[in-house]
Amino acid sequence: MRIRLCLAALSLVGGAGTATLTAPTASAATCSDIDVVAARGTFEPGTLGLIVGDPVFSALQRKLTGKTLSSYAVNYPADLSLTSAAQGNADLVNHVKAQATACPNQRYILVGYSQGANVVDNSIGISSAGAVVGSPIVATLPAAVEPRVAAVLLFGNPIRALGKSVTGTYQSRTIDFCATGDPVCENGGDDVLAHLGYTADAAAAADFAAGKV
């Protein structure tokens, strides 16, 4: 019930029409130094995501002044359907693979908020099956691309409520924010509004990523 309330609160951020929002059409980014690939949360408005993706990208632009940055909004429903996260998982992997082929020197920062964190988790080989708005893994980033992923920035990550986290290859490059009381990422959390406050962590996430680039 708490999770449903949290998702409902998130949908209200963008007004009454957020449930009908669609993701931008997939398109190849230019060969920037760093492509920021962001998966928004459930019903989250904004280009990359009003609460996380957009402010994180702005913080990265301010922090990484010596690098050229491009951005990509993962193209997926970000709704409560059973296949939503899986669609995002496939699109993220397909985008990064295409970029890696087209731009041999490009690196990647992966950003995921709420359901978008499930999308990123799956894409780096950590299953979100069983988590709220999660799914089994349908695609993973190839081993050849792995060294080019500079940082993984996660916010309100639902797998944490299952006692899981990012382990293995990407662990040292991952920062995973979970606000106290956030019922989406904290088992037993009861502060619905905590899930909507991750804009405040954008600068800390950018600082972390800068140390990995």
Tell me if residue 170 falls in helix, strand or coil: helix
Question: What residues are labeled active site?
Answer: 114, 182, 195
For helices 84-102 and 115-123, angle between their N-to-C axes, nearest 10 degrees: 50
pLDDT reading at 5 higher than 70 = no
Q: How far apart, in Å, are the Cα atoms of 209 and each of 56, 108, 154, 156, 167?
A: 10, 10, 11, 18, 18
Strand 149-155 to strand 69-73: parallel, antiparallel, or no bridges (unpaired)? unpaired
How many beta carbons lie within 10 A of that of residue 126, not counting itself?
A: 23
Residue 8 has pLDDT above 70, yes or no: no
Q: Is the pLDDT of residue 4 over 70?
A: no
Q: What is the pLDDT of residue 30?
A: 77
Return the SS3 of 46.
coil
Q: Which amino acid is at 50?
A: L
Contact 117, 156 (CB under 8 A): yes
Strands 107-113 and 149-155: parallel
What integer best gives the mean pLDDT of the chain? Answer: 89
State the average pLDDT over residues 183-206.
97
Q: Has residue 29 got a pLDDT over 90?
A: no
Q: pLDDT tens-digit profile of 79-110?
A: 999 999 999 999 999 999 999 999 999 999 99
- Look up the pTM and report it: 0.89
